[in-house]
Structure 1
Amino acid sequence: MSAAGSSEEQFMCSICLDVFSEPVSTPCGHNFCKPCISQAWDRSCLCFCPLCKEVFHVKPELKTNTLLSAMVSQRKRDAHVRAKRVLCTFCTEPRPALKSCLVCLSSFCQTHLEPHLSVPGLRTHPLSLPLANMEDRMCPKHRRPLELFCGTEQRCVCSMCALLEHKSHDLLSLEEACERKKASLQHSQSQHMVEQRRLKVQEIQHCLELSKSEAHRETAELAKVSSDIVESVQKCVDHSSRVIEEAQRKHMQQAERLISELQQEISELEKNSAEVQELSRSTDPLHFLQHCPALPPAGLKDWSSVSFEPGVYEGSASRALSQLEHTLSDKFSTLSKPKPPSNAAAELRRLRHFAVDITLDPATAHPELVLSKDLKQVTHSDVKKWFPHSSHRFDRCANVLGKQTFSSGRVYFEVQVKGKTEWDVGVAQESIKRKGQITASSKHGQWSICLRNSNMYSACTNPWTPLSLQSAPQRVGVFVDCGAGLVSFYDADSAELIYSFPDCGFRDKLLPLLSPCNNNKGQNSVPLVITDVQGNKGS
């Protein structure tokens, strides 16, 4: 391509004097930005070429110059690449840099990098891949490299800043500060926030599945109700029709019986009349008088007292509607009665979707407690084992905590209490007191229910609240809603709510808490067992 063809002007619009944007060609062969030439022609009463002044009496249809458009796009890409490329600081002609020196704050091509590879004084300078904006690595105040990090003020400083302004501050090398920052980011709050949001996604998905299930159930129930209503209407119509038909049948039978009697008497009268006419022709008076029948014949019915009215069916439809209204009213009354919270069994099924896998923490268990290998069972023994002192372990109360902590979302787990005479089940704050005598109550960060003396159930409020249960639970379900501050206990078999702690106001992470209590010389030796939750999503 010629020098003129590759010059800067070849890619510039003569109207806006900038690089072409949507280049189009006029019939005379000149090129302009489409917005520029369109605006120029819109402002003028004549359409003419701004370069050669050729007039177009009919406004031409502008067509994109595809070749020029491609060349302009390529030129912009090349310019962007050149802008991103780091050049050697010391070359008079543009040459790409191979390395940048973090001390000299300069970039070097292969030739100018040689002293940093051979001169002893320069070989200690740290080199990096080519870096743009080396000025950002310079202290604006002292014009020295930023080579230290002030942990106190959380910013990079130069050696003069460290000497003059940061003497008593926590100073680190950039490498050490970088490693610390990376380590802290790996355990940062953002990870916890990510986990919280993942749990929230799971919770929303669970709720969505429950919503779909409830919608399906309600739709099925609506279909059944509609079917019942149609069936009730049909039954009412059929019954009323049968009543009307039966009345009509009896009415017809009565009419047929009367007509039959009347026709029989008509026959007798006609027969008698024929006999009289026959005798009337006789000329023998004696014969006539001896054989003349009685008129009217004996045994005829007095029909003047007999009446037959049309069947009356008026009001049948009204009575049918009234009966239908009564039937539907009873049905609607049954349907509109407030139901228990989504049906106790359905409610427990919903809560079981929040089931979590719970294991016991041996480091917290009282020395007389024995845990199973799978950390799912705990029982009390008479043998007190020796353990090194630990602030995590209960030393007076026969308690053990779960390993899993929770501070957000909803949690559900079940504990088998079958066969025990005493036990405690619930949740506690991580900061719960573990040394000395402990009073189990919500006031002290423990939300639990308990059994004493085989039949005395209580909620560990302050003071304790006696509970009256219809039957002794074999498994206890524990549900915690951290956001709502709610802890609820259920009979996992009957689905009945045992007790709820509302408005708990949790101030710390929560953990499951179990106590099998003293074994009472073997009378209470059955273990507490964390059981698999039946019907949860993971089961």
Structure 2
Amino acid sequence: MSTDQDTCYLCKEHLRDPVSIPCGHVFCSICLKTYWDHADHTGSYSCPQCRVTYNKRPTPRRMGGSRHSTMQRHSESFPPPPPSPDYNYAGPQDVGCDICVGKKQKAVKTCLMCLASYCDKHLKPHYESSTFKRHKLVDEIGHLDRQICPQHQKGLELFCRTDQMCICVLCTVKEHKGHDMVSAEQERAEEQQRLGATQAEIQEKIHDRLKQMEELKQAVDSLKNSAQRALQECEKMFGDMMRSIERMQQEMAKLITSNKRAALNNAEGHMERLSHEIADLKRRDNEITQLSRTEDHIYFIQSYQMLIAQTEAEELPTVIVNPYFSFGPVTKAVSEMKQHLGEFSNDELVKVAKTVNKMAFCELDETKKRRSMKSDEATMYKPVPTQEPQHRDDFMRYNRSGRSSRGHRVSHQL
């Protein structure tokens, strides 16, 4: 067993808290973690030693007493390792050192005088040599080309207020001669104050919007409760009205039934009386027939006088039947009641719809509209104009089409 197998491939020191990965290679726990932390931005993790790539970051396994044999078995099946990696290599999202040759280290500082970014190693002369004493170092920044005058290839140090642009010292000689110029630091200080005022205004707007949002949420809750109460109360009142109409229907049915029964009883009484009178008249007719056949003259004369007197003394009443009697007026009255009820309900529904539609739930106060409000945002909040229903059919169409569009519009506004 060689000494290399007891050494971490990354730090070249004795293994500390060794861990292994699926390919079998072993490293210090902290070394492997640091190495793969730098690979997080790529999403691809490879073994520092054999370069086997994993799409998902493997979970290292802590090593026990058999790690040396495992290392020996796997290391024999792979080619010699590449040069030792460095944890400070610049990734795609990092700023690389401008002095490094080949694979660049991550830059830690940028010199605004040199217009270059340096890693820890190449930054030392700026700290150790008096030559760089007046150079200004800042945290590393990318896009150094933006710090250089494209015409004179000098660092941008001034700001021309006349042309509203950053310039270098050579620009003041010709292109910006006689212009109102200040140092970039002074312009930054003044703009920083304006930026602070802008930020304060934005924070005030945020506070105002949050307040309006809270008020709107409370109004929405109140709206839901009010709508629920209205639905329940309307359902109860319409139930009462339907029960009232049912009672009216029952009363009308009783009226028709009682009048029919009275008329039938009256007709049956007259029919019974007519039946008795017909039977009596048939009896008399039979007696007259028998009397006319008798040969007893005295009996004929005596009976004739009695029959004639009885017939002349009795006057039978006439039963007059109304051929136009019917329950048509009842049907007509109910039909007129239905028409009046329909017209009344239509008028009332239209009145209610107009009243509700005139009450805006929420809208923008145009008098306090911010200058920064865009026209499309204002359009988004404006209520969509709707034609007021004038008749029952219009109301029903408005009710069907308005439910979805109005719900979408309110949710969009909220």
TM-score by length of 2: 0.47
Bigger relative contact order (CA 8 A; separation at least 6): 1
TM-score, normalised via structure 1 length: 0.38
In our comparison, the structure showing a higher alpha carbon Rg is 2
Task: Compare the two structures and name the one with the higher strand fraction.
Answer: 1
